[in-house]
Structure 1
């Protein structure tokens, strides 16, 4: 039997969503440049292929029953005993959550799905799976760029609603402590973001700082959701490698007043758009990091190899080296996740392990923190900007 890298398990009673989850999940996996053959979809018909030795993420589709006789209970019990990640998904509201799932799932946080928010929630489910497999960053950081005198109400509204949907949102008026150097912290937060939301009001590009935010977001290869106000051009899209333009109309605002807040429908569309481009943004930034490293290594006469996990290996000074790309700012979690490769790495005799990252816009205090981690951990950090010097040492 083939050993699969990742197991997506879907159990319960399908209420017309199973195939949609699988199709979007496959697209996101391919967006990330990962071979789809590394995954297996497991349900009650092929549950004998399940193994507790490979990563697994289980979706349980819950629906109310008359006799509490829930589908796939035995296999579900096995999966929970193996401590696999598990996400219950129920129809309607969360008020009847307990009636739609087996008792064994009562302690799990779940997602409710209705026809009104179906697309948004499916994207959220798929991203939960990718995060569970550590294929997407868990911090879900979003940066809002706007002009205070033109769109503060919508910026605050987006901040509050995105936070409710599990995002870590940066808004200048809410996210920088009084003691922090404002501009340095702003660029630092942007460097660790996945998506920038631009509120493209009539004079958005009339400010030096909003111009700088757009230019920096483009330099960092961030995904950009561009929300253009009525009668305003979406020309900003040409500055972004990955962009999702949205146009709002007067009727999309409460009381048709553009300085008020957005209605629920356009607000939900924005959140759905943010969910849908996360994987493409991550893939673009990671691939750029990898390609720059491979090019630098080749220019210095070294042959670097890339495996199906997007891990780089090479020989330097007669030492086997492995390089793990990290998008955004390396934190202790990057090191922890990378350590999960250590056992397999040691089997292949790679004793020198590096976390590759881009230090653009990262604050000095954090770079010093990484140097401190380097002094105490087996895994070391490697700034892409310092690769040519590192190769020749």
Structure 2
């Protein structure tokens, strides 16, 4: 399977902070329990490794005031064309920001760096990268699908290992409160996940509910990791856009006779591929939501534009509107957005802001909660299924 990585791109003129950004970012990543080899650092020397099919965050290091010798413009043009997240960083104050960056970055918000607050600003840069990649635990959702009577030991082992590697893991025996409607909560949690791990034991497809979980995971465009037990020939039909199959061997288990817990080697391989598929799924689901919205808008005669923050802007009924795609279930964090985008909203004084989401498998109580938020906040929610009617209203 092709390995997908999070791409941290550093372009422009390094004024002594490039290595420091990478070092602090790496430390934060490892503190979160995320494997560092899930990332690739790209600059002008290895830009041929860049791909638009994996998440990317670009930092452009601007020149000094009145120095128009901007570097890496071809690479920068490609990154902006792909609507990758991008943060310009300049020396000194922001008063001369436009003089220190290429013209195509004039609409971007940037960060200024001076010696007095150097450490604080580098931390801010690193925080922006973490937000851009959705690397905080609350955003890294994994759903484990299994049959309790066949693979509980491995399911619990994976739950504990994934938690240590910075994932927020859903396992029904550990994650559902006794008072919750069981199946509704399962679908709701799956809708908020990015990856589904299927423990494909001998009778996994013998259950109606495990079949449903597989079907819904495909419907939601989730990444799927199918872990099949040794000598297991029960084929799982693969309708997923992004998936990874792994056939275990008897030697992968601590006790092959009873198929107990997994040894370290196959466990590490699973974690590595979950991270890779998560990177690819994150980019794919966001792009799918965006492309569906833009297609619907164009069919109704609107022009919708995708900007540098992967935010959609358009004019509807004479009003400037921005639409913020939210992968998974919209929460208050989607409404708050990232610090960079909040500043952009303030600067342009947008008053019509919508959070775009897919309501598939979202529980009724959460949809009611979104309606309540709509009545309480300037920012409104917008279900992708309701977009045609909304465009004509």
Give the TM-score normalised by the residue count of structure 2. Answer: 0.72
Structure 1 counterpart of 2:276: 276
Q: How does 1:73-222 map to 2 (within 5 A)?
A: 79-82=118-121, 84=123, 130-135=129-134, 138-139=137-138, 140-222=140-222
Task: Check 1:213–1:315 CA distance in 2 against 1; reply closer, same or farther (3 A cut).
Answer: same
Give aligned pairs, total: 325
Structure 2 counterpart of 1:385: 385
Q: Higher relative contact order at CA 8 Å, sep ≥6: structure 1 or structure 2? A: 2
Task: Check 1:182–1:296 CA distance in 2 against 1; reply closer, same or farther (3 A cut).
Answer: same
1:391 CA drift (Å) = 1.1
Q: Please tell me whether the aligned partners of residues 312 and 323 of structure 2 are also in contact (alpha carbons under 8 angstroms).
A: yes
Structure 2 counterpart of 1:22: 41
Structure 2 counterpart of 1:327: 327
1:63-109 CA-to-partner distances (Å, cap 9, x unmatched) read xxxxxxxxxxx98x95423361598xxxxxxxxxxxxxxxxxxxxxx
1:33 CA drift (Å) = 6.0
Q: Give me the whole-angstrom Cα distance separating, in 1, the residues matched to 2:128 and 2:231.
A: 39
1:163-187 CA-to-partner distances (Å, cap 9, x unmatched) read 1222111111111101000000000
Q: Please tell me whether the aligned partners of residues 55 and 133 of structure 1 are also in contact (alpha carbons under 8 angstroms).
A: no
Secondary structure, aligned partner of 1:361: coil
Task: Check 1:345–1:259 CA distance in 2 against 1; reply closer, same or farther (3 A cut).
Answer: same
Task: Check 1:135–1:154 CA distance in 2 against 1; reply closer, same or farther (3 A cut).
Answer: closer
Task: Check 1:349–1:222 CA distance in 2 against 1; reply closer, same or farther (3 A cut).
Answer: same
Secondary structure, aligned partner of 1:341: helix
Secondary structure, aligned partner of 1:30: coil
Q: 1:31 aligns with which of 30, 48, 53?
A: 53
What runs of 5+ residues in structure 2 fail to find an aligned partner? Answer: 1-10, 27-35, 63-70, 72-88, 95-108
Q: Please tell me whether the aligned partners of residues 353 and 379 of structure 1 are also in contact (alpha carbons under 8 angstroms).
A: yes
Q: Please tell me whether the aligned partners of residues 373 and 380 of structure 1 are also in contact (alpha carbons under 8 angstroms).
A: yes
Structure 2 counterpart of 1:239: 239
Q: Please tell me whether the aligned partners of residues 195 and 224 of structure 1 are also in contact (alpha carbons under 8 angstroms).
A: yes
Structure 2 counterpart of 1:293: 293
Structure 2 counterpart of 1:228: 228
Structure 2 counterpart of 1:120: none
1:287-344 CA-to-partner distances (Å, cap 9, x unmatched) read 1111111121122221211123211111111111100100000111111116752442
Q: Give me the whole-angstrom Cα distance separating, in 2, the residues matched to 1:332 and 1:28.
A: 33
Structure 2 counterpart of 1:116: none
Give the TM-score normalised by the residue count of structure 1. Answer: 0.72
Q: Give me the whole-angstrom Cα distance separating, in 1, the residues matched to 2:274 and 2:37.
A: 22
Q: Please tell me whether the aligned partners of residues 198 and 224 of structure 1 are also in contact (alpha carbons under 8 angstroms).
A: yes
1:31 CA drift (Å) = 2.8
Q: Please tell me whether the aligned partners of residues 141 and 167 of structure 1 are also in contact (alpha carbons under 8 angstroms).
A: yes
Q: Give me the whole-angstrom Cα distance separating, in 1, the residues matched to 2:203 and 2:324.
A: 42
What runs of 5+ residues in structure 1 fail to find an aligned partner? Answer: 57-73, 88-127
Structure 2 counterpart of 1:313: 313
1:33-83 CA-to-partner distances (Å, cap 9, x unmatched) read 65x7x43489xxx9x966787778xxxxxxxxxxxxxxxxx98x9542336
